[in-house]
Structure 1
Amino acid sequence: MKVYINGKFVDENDATISVFDRGFMYGDGVFETLAVYNSTIFRLTEHLIRLKNSLSLLYIDINCSDLELQDILYQALNNNNITNGILRLSITRGVGLRGLDIANCLNPTIVVISYNIKEFPVEVRKNGVPVIISSVVKNHKRSVDPTIKSNNFISNIMAFKEASNLNAVEAIQLNSDFHVAEGTTSNIFLVKNGVVLTPDLSTGILSGVTRQIVIDLCKAIKLPIKETTIKKHEIIEADEIFYTNSIAGIIHVKSIQDCTDNNKTYQFMSEQKNISGILYENYKELIKLETGNYWG
């Protein structure tokens, strides 16, 4: 696999950055993960808008236009002969002197890594997955701006480790007010009495690209949708739950284990009968319409 680093494509075994890079030293950078269908990067414009917002909020100037970034990403696809797959675009503040001062960091590091696809098993789509409510609280929105898709993922990693220890595949994190925030790599939705609910951005969450697609799909097919504050008991009492991200798409939740309450477990309905199944079919059709293909 060929990896792009600062203007060059190199073999993955030769892909290195400086040990003094602030992305390595401090997690000082941002990233986007993009799905590729039929040699087309799905919703690239939306990802680049979010990327540029993240960079701006961190005062990182890459001196690279959206068209130039787009060209780099498509070169990565071509150089790795990828028709259907995943791209990860990472940008750090670059190499700097010892300490936290960013004034001397003038040359950001840009990396693009390509991955082959790993399709979700059919039974996962059909039956759903187990998740937990994590005891690891989400970073406060006034501490780390949640609109920044940051390389600093310690909170997410610790919550995901907690899920892995319980054989779950995702962890739902609460915010400092103990309201439902988001998953470690996903946005959360629930359904109650036919209404689709998702945490409002003011809860302190990332504005997911797939999250917005689902909101738009709900409106298009006349499903009631509401962005709101969701208390923990509401997700436990939901009729169904699902989560979203750019690679998984829409994943139905079959059970929740609550790590904030003695690991109590709650079961949910089969995907064959639920709203997430309807939304997933519409999501697939949207991708096919925009790219001509769908994997997942």
Structure 2
Amino acid sequence: MIIFANGELVPAEKAKVSAIDHGFLYGIGLFETMRVYNNRIFLWSEHYKRLMAGLDALRISATWTEQELLDSINRTLVANRLTDAYVRLSITGGQEGVGLVGVEYANPSLFVYVKPVAPVAEPPKGKQLVSVSIPRQTAEGAFRFKSHNYLNNALAKLEVGPDPKVEGLFLTQDGYVCEGIVSNVFWVRNGKLYTPSVATGLLNGITRQHVLTLAEELNLPWEEGLFLLSSLTAAEEAFLTNSVQEIIPVNQVDGVPLAQDYGPITKALRLAYRRSVALYK
């Protein structure tokens, strides 16, 4: 893999992060995970806006324009000879030494990682959703950032193990359904779509937001709120979303099979999603 590291394209084994970078020392950094289809970064503007909002909140100076960030991604894709890919763009606080700072991070670091992705499976393979014992920790700021502070997720992944067919499910301290380890959660009961509220402390995924927009376009009734696990286990169908895997059906929750492995609303939204990818410019 060739990595874009602070303006240079270098082999992964030669890419370096400073030992005094606050992304390394304190987790001061944000990242966006994106999917590239035929040289197009899907929902780039939405990812960029979320990134900028997070940088502003963390007082990390955005020293790159939107076009410069886009050029950095495209240069990395070309260097790796990829036209369909997973992209991770990371911006850290930069080299600020040992000790927290009380001022703006004026010299952030930028890294871009890319790797190939498998073609979208048709029909998609369902996943098992398993509740983890560790609760979803509350957001450290006013809302959850897509930040380098990933210990909660890492502990949950250690608990569920490496099986790609299994996704861990976070509940809040109060027992409400929150989100998957690397996904947002949706389910259907009596023809209505449900998803946890951002009040649970979930990451408001770009794909999550796009799916809700698609639901509006399809005139599907939906509700976000605080829901106990029993609401999810009683669902007729359920699915997960993230930017790389798109819409993934769920076939069981905590060992209980759902009524439908790949239900009609999941199919309708997945078809609409695939259509939006095809039409995206």
Which amino acid in the other structure matches residue 279 of structure 1?
Answer: L
- What does residue 28 of structure 1 align with? 28
Partner of 1:267: 257
1:121-160 paired onto structure 2 within 5 Å: 122=122, 125-126=124-125, 128-141=126-139, 143-160=140-157
Say yes or no: does 1:220 pair with 2:212.
no
Report the 3-state secondary structure (helix = DSSP H, G, I; strand = E; otherwise coil) of the residue aligned with 1:282: helix
Which whole-Å CA distance do the structure 1 matches of 2:142 and 2:115 have between them?
29
Q: Is contact 2:61-2:104 (8 Å) kept?
A: no
Q: What is the CA–CA distance in structure 2 between the aligned matches of 1:168 and 1:228, rounded to whole Å?
A: 27
| Matched position secondary structure for 1:48 | helix
Q: Which amino acid aligns with 2:19?
A: V
Alignment-derived partner of residue 236 in structure 2 = 239
Contact 2:234-2:258 at 8 Å conserved across structures: no
| Alignment partner, residue 5 of structure 1 | 5
Which stretch of the first structure deviates more once superposed, 162-171 or 199-208? 162-171
User: Aligned to 1:139, what secondary structure does the other structure show?
Assistant: coil
Matching residue's letter, 1:197: Y
Q: Would the aligned equivalents of 1:30 and 1:91 in 2 still touch at CA under 8 Å?
A: yes
TM-score by length of 2: 0.93
Q: Show CA shifts across 1:19-76 (max 9, x none).
A: 2212122221110011000100001000000001111111111321212211211222
Judge which range, 243-252 or 130-139, deviates more.
130-139
User: Residue 247 of structure 1: CA displacement?
Assistant: 0.4
Displacement, 1:274? 3.2
Query: Which residue in the other structure is 1:47 paired with?
Result: 47
1:19 paired to 2:19 = yes
Give the share of equivalent positions with the same residue, in percent.
Answer: 33
Shift of 1:269: 3.3
Deviations 1:141-182 (A, max 9, x none): 3x3444311111110111122222788521111112221111
Aligned match of 1:286 in 259, 269, 276? 276
CA contact (8 A) 1:54 1:147 kept: no
2:208 equivalent in structure 1: 211
1:153-172 alignment to 2 at 5 Å?
Answer: 153-164=150-161, 169-172=166-169
Query: Distance between the aligned counterparts of 2:248 and 2:142, measured in 1?
Result: 26
- CA distance in structure 2 between the partners assigned to 1:165 and 1:115 by the alignment: 19
Which segments of 5 or more consecutive residues in structure 2 lack a partner in the other structure? none
Q: Cα 1:101–1:6, aligned 2, differ >3 Å: closer, same or farther?
A: same
Task: Tell me the TM-score normalised to structure 1 length.
Answer: 0.89
User: For the aligned residues, what is the CA RMSD?
Assistant: 1.9
Opposite residue 135 of structure 1, the aligned amino acid is S
Query: Aligned runs of 1:174-213 on 2, under 5 Å?
Result: 174-213=171-210
Question: Residue 262 of structure 1 corresponds to which residue in structure 2?
Answer: none
Unaligned runs of 5+ in 1: 258-264, 292-296
Matched, 1:85 2:85: yes
Cα deviation per residue 1:108-158 (whole Å; 9 max; x = unaligned)? 1100011111346556x15x11121111111113x3444311111110111
Helix, strand or coil for the counterpart of 1:283?
Answer: helix
Quick check: 1:96–1:102 contact (8 Å CA) kept in 2? no
**Which moved further from structure 2: 37-46 or 103-112?**
103-112
Using the alignment, how far apart are the partners of 2:172 and 2:165 within structure 1?
Answer: 20
Q: State the AA in 2 paired with 1:53.
A: A
Q: Is 2:21–2:93's contact at 8 Å kept on the other side of the alignment?
A: yes
Letter in 2 for 1:109: S
Query: Structure 1 residues 19, 241: CA separation in 2 closer, same or farther (over 3 Å shift)?
Result: same
Separation of aligned partners in 1, 2:101 and 2:222: 44
